[in-house]
Amino acid sequence: MEAALSAAPDQTDLFRTRFTRLIELVLSGSFDDPDVRRVMELVTVSVDSED
């Protein structure tokens, strides 16, 4: 099963690839903290200067 992984369009290709892989790992039950952390670091966020 590969669900439609139409992830957010504002992210990089690298992120998309790693994210897809992470989901695969999650579904097979073999994911680990460092994997999650790496994907988190790849997320591009625009931080507003005001809250």
Partner 1 sequence: MEVRLTGWRSKNIRGGLRDLDIDLGSDPRRWTLVQMSNGTGKTTTMDLLRSTLTGRALSTPEVRAFRADDLVETGLFEARLVVDDRPIRLQMELDFRDGSVSYWTVRAETRGGGREEGRAVPSELRELLKPALTELFVFNGELATQILDLSKSRAAGAIRALYGLDQVDALQERVTGLVQQEVRRAASVTSAKEQKGITQLQNLVNEATSAKQRLEQLQQASAARLAEVSRERERLDAEITARLSEDAGVRAEIEALDVNQVEVDANANDLSTQALEAFRRPPHVSDLLQERLKTLGEQLYTLKLPETISREFFNELANEKLCVCGRPIGHTERDQIITGAGRYLAQDQITVINQMKTALRDSSGAPNVLGATIASLQAQLVERRKIKAERDRLASERIAEGDDVLAKLRADLGECIEEVNALSATLERLSTKDSIRQRALRVGWESNLPLCDGELEVRKFRLQTATKTRDFSEQGKRLNQIIADTTRRALDGLRDRVRLATNEKLKLIIKGEDLQVSKIGGGLELQSGGLDAKAGASEGQKLAIAYAFLTSLLAEAPYKLPFIVDSPAVSLDTEVRREVGELIPSFFGQMVMLVISSEREGFADAFYGRAPEDVRFLTVAAEGGGQVRIEEGLQAFRDFHGKDLTA
Q: Report residue 44 as tokens.
A: 């591009």
Q: Cα(36)–Cα(18) distance, rounded to whole angstroms?
A: 10
Shortest spacing between CB 13 and partner 1, in angstroms: 14
Write the DSSP symbol of residue 11.
S
């670091």: which residue's tokens? 41
Residue 30 touches partner 1, criterion: CB under 8 A: yes
Residue 9 touches partner 1, criterion: CB under 8 A: no
Residue 13 touches partner 1, criterion: CB under 8 A: no
Contact set with partner 1 (CB under 8 A): 1, 3-8, 11, 19, 22-23, 26-31, 33, 36-37, 39-41, 43, 45, 47, 49-51
